[in-house]
Amino acid sequence: MIFPHDPLSFHLTSLSMRLDICFVACSILLSLVGLHRRRRARLPLPPGPKGYPIVGNMLDIPSRLQWVKYLEWSKMYNSDIISINVFGRPVLVLNSHKSVNDILSARSLLYSDRPPSVMVHELLGWGSMPSHMPYGHAWRARRRAFWQEFNPANSRNHQANQLWWSRDFLRRLLYDPTRFLHHIEYTLAGSIIATAYGLEVEPEHDLNIERAKKVLIQFNEAPATGSFIVDILPMLKYIPSWIPGMGFKAYAERVRPDTLNMRNAPYKQGCERLRDGNAVPSVLSRSLARGEYGIENHPDEDIIKDVTWVACAGGAETSPLVLSTFIAAMLLHPEVQIKAQEELDAYLGSRLPVFEDMSYLPYIRAILLEVLRWQPVLPLGAPHRVTMDDEYKGYFIPKGTTVLANVW
């Protein structure tokens, strides 16, 4: 007889067989996973300097021009990817276009996270800045909101404001050419504040511009205050700032209010102009108008604050650096300046350029692209972090590795 007469016995036997099959399948799967992990564990890390106990390569990394040293190591070890270790934390440096494309672009799902920083994100108050946020829902919401305003199709929304400020920059240069660096910083910061918040900017000593400049200086000085210690030992953030050795925390307590004020104050001013009916089109006004919500308690208030804040931070720092580099390039290569002027004179005559002229000035455009290539504002880009164990070119990249692209 094929089947037993007892139905219960049959079902128990069938269930037992299914459990056996599941057990075998799970065992095989776990074995394969374990084998894969052991295989990855046997793979070497990318080549790099040996380093020292505990501190790793901390003493090998120069305080300036790290990107030059990374390229030297890349050539020394004949590898476009190198690995270093900083207090037990692995760091991967990509030194070729191919490796950057293969890892940060083709595998972006694994490498879109940001390394956490107790000092920058928590103590200094930059945690809500989209460029510092970890990959996730909050970051995607801000990325989407930023793209709505600053994608190429919507660039025309900002051109009238940018054109006015470019003319103001020329007026300032004509009146006082010796302060050209100040004029660059002031007009570009004024342009982005007007674009982001729709605020009027004072001709000199504008509070929002001075606040942004102060906060960015404080941020750039932070690494020199011992901030790396608290990133390695996060429990130090709980120790009172008056205890010797806690200078980084005292520094953070002093500058954090300025950082938060940079994020909140211009947003509040822009909302007040909207209530008074004196607002001009801006990122703030368009963002608040989306949906059927009022200004008060807008559900996207934090997102709008962060998008306008990151735009101002970039406009007040990275853009002036690009224009300053352009001036340095023209001083170093006067023959290029002469050829550029000839192109302008031949096409424009005596008038000033507008955005529609860009496609007719290929040499000027090439100069701007070369400035970006020659001296990139962020030579190592923004740091990334891998969220899962990975391998590339036969090398093991452990989960949690910080990844730097040597843009320079």
What does DSSP assign to residue 375?
S
Q: How many CB atoms lie within 10 A of CB 254?
A: 11
Helix (H) or strand (E) holding 175: helix 156-175
Q: Are strands 402-405 and 384-385 parallel, antiparallel or unpaired?
A: antiparallel
Q: Is the pLDDT of residue 361 over 70?
A: yes
163 or 37, greater pLDDT: 163
370 neighbors 330 (Cβ within 8 angstroms): no
Mean pLDDT for the stretch of residues 13-41: 51
pTM confidence score = 0.80
88 neighbors 57 (Cβ within 8 angstroms): no
**Residue 166: inside a domain:** yes
Residue 247 structure tokens: 């200078």
Q: How confident is the model at residue 30 (pLDDT cuts 50, 70, 90)?
A: low
Q: How many CB atoms lie within 10 A of CB 114?
A: 18
Q: How confident is the model at residue 88 (pLDDT cuts 50, 70, 90)?
A: confident
**Residue 380: inside a domain:** no
Mean pLDDT for the stretch of residues 333-343: 97
Q: DSSP labels for 313-343?
A: HHHHHHHHHHHHHHHHHHHH-HHHHHHHHHH
pLDDT digits (tens, 9 = 90+) for 214-239: 999 888 877 655 567 888 888 888 88
Half-sphere exposure of 273 (CA within 13 A, CB side): 19
Half-sphere exposure of 288 (CA within 13 A, CB side): 26
**Residue 202: inside a domain:** yes
**Residue 177: inside a domain:** yes
Q: Is the pLDDT of residue 81 over 90?
A: yes
Burial of 228 (0-12, 13-18, 19+ CB in 10 A): middle
Residue 243's SS3 state is coil
Beta bridge partners of 84: 91
Place of tokens 């994020």: 263
Mean pLDDT for the stretch of residues 274-292: 89
Non-local CB neighbours of 265 within 8 Å, separated by 6+ positions? 208, 211
Mean pLDDT for the stretch of residues 61-77: 93
Q: Is the pLDDT of residue 19 over 70?
A: no
Residue % of the chain over a pLDDT of 90: 64
pLDDT digits (tens, 9 = 90+) for 55-66: 899 889 888 899
**Residue 240: inside a domain:** yes
Residue % of the chain over a pLDDT of 70: 88
**Residue 247: inside a domain:** yes
Domain count, the chain: 1
42 or 81, greater pLDDT: 81
Q: Is the pLDDT of residue 1 over 50?
A: no
Residue 58 is predicted with a pLDDT of 87
Residue 11 is predicted with a pLDDT of 46
Structural domain boundaries enclosing 279: 142-332
Place of tokens 């001296």: 375
Instruction: Give the integer Cα–Cα distance in Å for 329 and 323.
Output: 10
Residue 223 is predicted with a pLDDT of 60
Average pLDDT score over the chain: 87
Burial of 123 (0-12, 13-18, 19+ CB in 10 A): buried
Distances from the Cα of 203 to the Cαs of 190, 278, 280, in angstroms? 9, 19, 18
Burial of 276 (0-12, 13-18, 19+ CB in 10 A): exposed
**Residue 29: inside a domain:** no
Q: DSSP labels for 105-146?
A: ITTHHHH-B----IIIIIISS-TT-GGGSPSSHHHHHHHHHH
pLDDT digits (tens, 9 = 90+) for 241-265: 888 888 889 999 999 999 999 999 9
pLDDT digits (tens, 9 = 90+) for 145-194: 999 999 988 888 899 999 999 999 999 999 999 999 999 999 999 999 99
385 or 225, greater pLDDT: 385
29 or 3, greater pLDDT: 29
Residue 327 structure tokens: 């001036």
Distances from the Cα of 91 to the Cαs of 59, 132, 135, 354, in angstroms? 14, 17, 18, 45
Q: For the ranges 223-232, 265-274, 375-384, 388-397, which has the lowest average pLDDT?
A: 223-232
Q: For the ranges 29-33, 181-185, 277-281, 300-304, which has the lowest average pLDDT?
A: 29-33
Phi, psi angle pair for 367, to nearest 5°:
-60, -45
Mean pLDDT for the stretch of residues 105-130: 91
**Residue 364: inside a domain:** no
